[in-house]
């Protein structure tokens, strides 16, 4: 089903924290567009959705495969007044939980889980990704751009061969073609609830919710953090959202940013 400005306005109308909807058939990146909006003083809750992207950005400088007509690509401007800089990683964890909650009812008997920090996996394959970009002045958080890609109706064969083994979509898992605006509504509903809970200071609840849907904890991991690689067992995620690893020598190590390698 085609996405359009009017369809999005209609279906997202009951979501009060979305203050503006900006739909584009094509963009380089919805997150870049939100950054432009942020610089012209757009309000928190401004949403940008694109049917397709030519320069979709992923974490760690990677690209995000963004063909038109099949998936969801959207970014939201957040201005989290009162949230300290050190707590911004919790927005990423919260968004991962919201995605799992929003997508789970559409996945039938398949389970959506989170690989630290926020890859949404189904059967070990990535169904959605989150890119959180922060603009700060000193320790003050000016704004956060939450960029989300959800693989909705993409058939597996549409991915380049190297991604076919790692990616999946709601359609590839269930055989069901979902209206993308409906999927967006589900995800935004959970995002709104999680975000307002975070702003009310419920950081422990956010981390606890993340742990409940995580597929990382208790497993052996190899983590790339900067130039360093660490192996061990993922033991915990701390109050700041950092991964705690037990090294083979029994020492515990905390990793704030990084990637779990396959």
Out of 45, 89, 96, 147, point to the residue binding ligand BTN (CB under 6 A).
147
Say whether residue 99 binds ligand BTN (CB under 6 A).
Answer: no
Cβ proximity of 256 and 89 under 8 Å:
yes
148 part of the interface to ligand BTN, by CB under 6 A: yes
Out of 26, 39, 62, 200, the residue judged to bind ligand BTN by CB under 6 A: 62
Choose one: 14-22, 68-76, 97-105, 213-221; the region binding ligand BTN (CB under 6 A). Answer: 68-76
**Span from 67-75, 107-115, 208-216, 232-240 in contact with ligand BTN (CB under 6 A):** 67-75
Of 131 and 198, which has the nearer Cβ to ligand BTN? 131
Q: Among the candidate windows 125-133, 135-143, 185-193, 245-253, which touches ligand BTN by CB under 6 A?
A: 125-133
Asked whether 135 and 143 are in contact (CB, 8 A), the reply is yes
- In the set 31, 46, 113, 216, which binds ligand BTN (CB under 6 A)? 31
CB 103 within 8 A of CB 131: no
Q: Of 5-13, 53-61, 86-94, 95-103, which segment contacts ligand BTN by CB under 6 A?
A: 53-61
| Residue number, nearest CB to ligand BTN | 129
For β-strands 140-150 and 125-137, DSSP reports them as antiparallel
Task: Assess 30 for contact with ligand BTN (CB under 6 A).
Answer: yes
The span of 94-102, 104-112, 128-136, 232-240 binding ligand BTN (CB under 6 A) equals 128-136
Quote the least distance from Cβ 63 to ligand BTN, whole Å. Answer: 8
Of positions 22, 46, 75, 113, contacts ligand BTN by CB under 6 A:
75
104 binds ligand BTN (CB under 6 A): no
200 in contact with ligand BTN (CB under 6 A):
no
3-state SS of the chain? CCCCHHHHHHHHCCCCCCCEEEEEEEECCHHHHHHHHHHCCCCCCEEEEEEEECCCECHHHCECCCCCCCCEEEEEEECCCCCCHHHHHHHHHHHHHHHHHHHHHHCCCCCEEEECCCEEEECCEEEEEEEEEEEEECCEEEEEEEEEEECCCCCHHHCCHHHHCCECCHHHHHCCCCCHHHHHHHHHHHHHHHHHHHHCCCHHHHHHHHHHHECCCCCEEEEEECCEEEEEEEEEECCCCCEEEECCCCCEEEECCCEECC
Token duo for residue 252: 């515990």
Q: Residue count at the site for ligand BTN (CB under 6 A)?
A: 20
140 pairs with which residues across the strands?
137
Nearer to ligand BTN, 50 or 90 (CB): 50
Q: Is 23 in the site for ligand BTN (CB under 6 A)?
A: no
* Residues lying near ligand BTN in the complex (CB under 6 A): 29-31, 53, 56-59, 62, 64, 73-75, 119, 129-131, 147-149
């Amino acid at each position: 089903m085609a996405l359009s400005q009017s369809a999005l306005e209609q279906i997202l109308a009951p979501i009060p924290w979305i203050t503006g909807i900006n739909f584009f058939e094509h963009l380089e990146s919805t997150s870049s567009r939100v950054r432009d909006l942020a610089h012209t003083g757009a309000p928190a809750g401004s949403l940008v959705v694109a049917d397709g992207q030519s320069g979709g950005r992923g974490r760690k400088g990677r690209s995000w495969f963004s063909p038109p007509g099949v998936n969801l690509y959207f970014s939201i401007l957040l201005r989290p007044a009162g949230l300290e800089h050190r707590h911004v990683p919790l927005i990423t964890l919260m968004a991962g939980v919201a995605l799992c909650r929003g997508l789970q009812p559409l996945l039938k008997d398949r389970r959506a889980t989170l690989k630290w920090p926020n890859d949404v996996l189904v059967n070990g394959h990535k169904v959605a990704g989150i890119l959180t970009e922060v603009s700060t002045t000193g320790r003050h958080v000016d704004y956060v751009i939450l960029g989300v890609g959800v693989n909705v109706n993409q058939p597996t064969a549409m991915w380049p061969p190297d991604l076919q083994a790692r990616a999946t979509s709601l359609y590839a898992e269930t055989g069901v073609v979902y209206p993308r605006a409906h999927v967006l509504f589900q995800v935004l509903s959970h995002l709104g609830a999680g975000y307002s809970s975070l702003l009310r200071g419920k950081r422990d609840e956010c981390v606890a919710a993340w742990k409940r849907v995580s597929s990382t904890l208790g497993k052996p991991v190899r983590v790339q953090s900067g130039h360093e690689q660490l192996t061990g067992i993922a033991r915990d995620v701390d109050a700041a959202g950092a991964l705690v690893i037990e090294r083979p020598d029994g020492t515990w190590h905390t990793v704030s940013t990084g990637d779990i390698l396959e």
